Structure 1
């Protein structure tokens, strides 16, 4: 990487801080897209698909659905079968239930991104950040995550843990009964710092301006994809705003400003290493991988690289910070599970420390090292025996089950809509017609005793312990991250972070309480991005120990 961002086929602007011209959709394109949204009925045209009858006085199914979502969907399944048409969430959907849902994910002619873009204008948002790879299916983003993030998780884990731990100490600290009225902001800081270290390096993770822009852009992203604003004007407004005015440019500029001196210094160090006939030790972060694979990924310039990094930030910070916050509310709602999780953690760390000591002793006995001091600074450094390593977190099966159960229990009842690009015939003979939107009835999957085990309507955190059902395993009975070729490639990073957050919480705090317990049920079933009406109260283990001693 002797050039800043070298490409033999793409000219690099001399002024790398120069803002790119916004990519406009144009008035003609806007009019066409507008008509497309207006004219799309949403329902499949297959006349064999039953329409759910409207309740007297209702013009849509929304009121009845939100009164009791489980009751409404169970009635629809019993009355109309696994596939039915329903006007809900402000849209018209063909609802697909049970095992048939798997076919929506496994058939290439269904597109999740098309459905999201139709009702949010998300593609305009994404395209306003990046200059290359403006693919509605985000194939390059999937490839980048698959090739660069997931394989390096064991290497990234120590810095993720350190960044999360630092934020916990800074924002929550020790004490008894510390009230945090807006926990989401703290977890946004936690995840933003961790992701900055992975995506742009440890230097950038210290830059508060960059962390703030991560969080601010995440807020913008949430406003685009929010569930309660899906309407024609919401979509049209987003396409006009991000396709023409491009307010996200300021976020990319902040990242470019922070990245430029770091990249220049890396270039200088690499040139010096080459001059001295030495191998350049490449920093471990995704920005470096982007620079090393500039042509492979088809990047245009440094702004484009930072734009792609920002997409990765949005994909991780938005959902992971939300779920991390909710995980703590679950610990508050079910305090009886904090100590079992803490006990498992201590047992795992003790076992790993024992194994590492045996390995050190084996090397001493074999004469590979002369003393314990020789292990300092190596992978067998005794000071690292109690670290939350990737191996340690993987062994915490109760925490893994706890996280998966949260995804199962909290899942929105109707979600993950896909738009049909062609007519698709399901295995039961029903046709999902081109242009219609099929949405998944998650109730029929997550509350099916055959798939989930006994009492599927109850929260049982050890439900998956001892079963081949990890929180990252996308399958027909667990669709939190999709399924098949288009399953979310970032799920391994997301689950690693969530399990780390959970582990830090139970190791640091003996008690987490919901400020207003009357809000508990509402919070546990809250939708992604939905504001929570009450805070959390944290009591640290050190505070509890001091109280007992006194």
Structure 2
């Protein structure tokens, strides 16, 4: 009896401690039944309907309790406001809690986020014309390796895995140069790196019901006892990167001012003031590259897989896309350029629509980094509060996309003359404002080039002729696991 009473007492104390303490003039807290648990299960297993019901009854913003923590939700009306208030919010503060990369890297990548953003903006998106021919060559290589000639119909499984390897080949070339990226072990490591990490980091934070630090401690245990899922990948990268770095250092000594820099990220890192050619920190170089690789491949590979399914499952649009692609191909006479692909308005519109239909309910969660943030309607949220954007409310806005906003309308952006990489109030797939994804121009170019060459070379269809449903995991979606059927186009 004493033990039972002690347990009940401790439970009451725990619930009291974990009960939400809202600041003055906060957004309304949605009523809930179970203490501590709050709205967690509704959020995880019925995200769209749950949030829509809250919006209808309480408007925005509003507060919910997930994993024992008060979280503020904004939708179409306040997402643009939060996006513009970049000095008050930081999306990486949220990422650090759920994907603590500092456990597996020798340095904390979140400490130099501005450097990573600058690298992506200037050295990747800012040099697309320089990379264009290399990217095409890598796509030709990937098509031959992963899909082949397909003179007879061929079923390709694990489309997402294929797309990750395609993306990995492209990113490897840009990151470490052609010499190092030609090795298959490097490309494979890049492609599966995120998957190996996710087995540890995608553990639902149920221990956060007790305390967030407990969740962080548990997911860090493998690393604290010496097991790191990327150790083998780092060895591969350093093994292939080291000879390139040593050769470049030697060439700089010999050629001096006549040395010609390579167009890749590795060269950019070697030009930084903190790079010491007499004592190269290869672990640090690898960690810098791994952060870009993880961020780039996870998002681009997934988008590429979704795009292939969107194209393969909608045969009614094949002819128009093929006509545009073949017309440009004939006019260019084999000398296809960045300017040419940017003129392909139907291809670009199709990709923008595919990205709009990505399906994630939450795209850019943020944390308040200042003492507080006050919304334009007067509601205030405190420092540290997570603010989730119900992005679907923007991406399927009826005022912007019509009453059939959830329909797939691939050519609706042709007349609007907006590219797939252009962000606006209702197209928030890449975030928005000053902190919009700096790699979006590169990612969109990858999607364009790949689909362009697929259209020219193959007929692609789904197994049953329809667009398969994506896999929903909480508020996030992943590409279908179905196969696609590829068949080489017959010469006409």
TM-score by length of 2: 0.85
| 1:78 aligns to 2:82 (yes or no) | no
Give the C-alpha shift of residue 172 in structure 1: 0.6
The whole-number CA distance in structure 2 between the counterparts of 1:167 and 1:279 is 35
Match of 1:96 in 2: 74
* Aligned residue pair count: 467
Which range is displaced more, 299-308 or 223-232? 223-232
Matched, 1:255 2:237: yes
Q: Report deviation, 1:519.
A: 7.8
Q: Where in structure 1 are there 5+ consecutive unaligned residues?
A: 1-38, 354-384
Residues 146 and 162 of structure 2 are in contact (CA less than 8 Å); yes or no, is this contact kept in structure 1?
A: yes
**d(CA) in 1 for partners of 2:161, 2:49:** 34
Say whether 1:404 aligns with 2:380: no
Please state how far the C-alpha of 1:429 moved relative to its aligned partner: 0.9
> 1:445 and 2:433 equivalent?
no
Query: What does residue 395 of structure 1 align with?
Result: 343
Cα separation, 2, equivalents of 1:323 and 1:55: 38
Match of 2:142 in 1: 167
Q: 2:363, 2:429 within 8 Å by CA — same for their partners in 1?
A: no
Q: 1:164 and 1:40, CA in 2 relative to 1: closer, same or farther beyond 3 A?
A: farther
> Is 1:122–2:108 an aligned residue pair?
no
Shift in Å, 1:293: 2.4
Distance 1:404 1:331 in 2: 12
Cα distance in structure 2, aligned partners of 1:467 and 1:523: 31
Q: Is the alpha carbon distance of 1:457 and 1:503 closer, same or farther for their aligned partners in structure 2, counting shifts above 3 Å?
A: same
Shift of 1:479: 1.4
Give yes or no for the alignment of 1:485 onto 2:434. yes
Partner of 1:21: none
Partner SS, residue 520 of structure 1: coil
Distance in 1 between residues matched to 2:390 and 2:186, nearest whole Å: 39
Query: Is 1:214 matched up with 2:190?
Result: yes
2-structure distance, mates of 1:51, 1:270 = 62
Distance 1:114 1:300, change over 3 A: farther
Question: More deviation in 483-492 or 518-527?
Answer: 518-527
**1:77-115: CA deviations, max 9, x gaps?**
221012112245886421111131122222212111111
Aligned partners of 1:70 and 1:413 also within 8 Å: yes
Instruction: Return the alpha-carbon distance in structure 2 between the equivalents of residues 192 and 43 of structure 1.
Output: 46
For the residues of structure 2 that align with 1:529 and 1:448, how far apart are their CA atoms? 19
**Contact 2:40/2:67, CA 8 A, preserved across alignment:** yes
Aligned to 1:317: 297
Match of 1:507 among 431, 448, 456: 456
1:56/1:310 CA distance change after superposition, 3 Å: closer
Give structure 1 regions of 4+ aligned residues with deviation exceeding 6 angstroms: 39-43, 55-58, 296-300, 524-527
What is the aligned partner in structure 1 of residue 169 from structure 2? Answer: 193
Tell me by how many angstroms 1:406 deviates.
1.7
CA displacement, residues 433-481 of structure 1 (integer Å, 9 cap, x when unaligned): 2222110011321121223345212111112112243221222222111
Query: 8 Å contact 2:74–2:387 — kept in the other structure?
Result: yes
Q: CA deviation at 1:48?
A: 4.8
Deviation at 1:196, TM superposition (A): 0.9
Alpha-carbon distance change, 420 to 332 in structure 1, aligned in 2, over 3 angstroms:
same
Tell me how far apart the structure 1 counterparts of residues 173 and 33 of structure 2 sit (CA, whole Å): 53
Distance 1:524 1:326, change over 3 A: farther
Question: Superposed, which structure 2 residues align to 1:274-285 within 5 Å?
Answer: 274=256, 279-285=258-264
CA contact (8 A) 1:255 1:306 kept: yes
Task: Tell me which residue corresponds to 1:26.
Answer: none
| Mapped partners of 1:434, 1:41: distance in 2 | 18
Flag the 1:525–1:540 CA change in 2: closer, same or farther, 3 A: farther
Aligned 8 A contact 1:324 1:498 in 2: yes
Q: What TM-score, normalized to structure 1?
A: 0.76
Q: Are 1:265 and 2:271 matched, yes or no?
A: no
Aligned in 2, Cα 1:86/1:470: closer, same or farther, shift over 3 Å? same
Q: How do 1:294-333 residues align onto structure 2 when only pairs under 5 Å count?
A: 294-295=273-274, 301-333=281-313
1:540 paired with 2:491, answer no
In structure 1, distance between residues paired with 2:403 and 2:283: 52
Measure, in 1, the Cα distance between the counterparts of 2:78 and 2:449. 34
Q: Deviations over 1:316-349 (max 9, x none)?
A: 1111111111111111221222221121122233
Superposed CA offset, 1:498-534 (max 9, x none):
1112112211212321x35688234599976747342
**Any idea what the Cα deviations from partners look like across 1:338-386, whole Å, max 9, x if unmatched?**
22112112223344x3xxxxxxxxxxxxxxxxxxxxxxxxxxxxxxx42
CA RMSD of aligned residues (A): 3.3
What is the aligned counterpart of 1:112 among 91, 113, 123?
A: 91
Specify whether residues 297 and 512 from structure 1 end up closer, same or farther in structure 2 by C-alpha distance, changes over 3 A only. Answer: farther
Distance 1:427 1:293, change over 3 A: same
Alignment of 1:145-164 (within 5 A): 145-164=120-139
Give the corresponding residue for 2:9. none
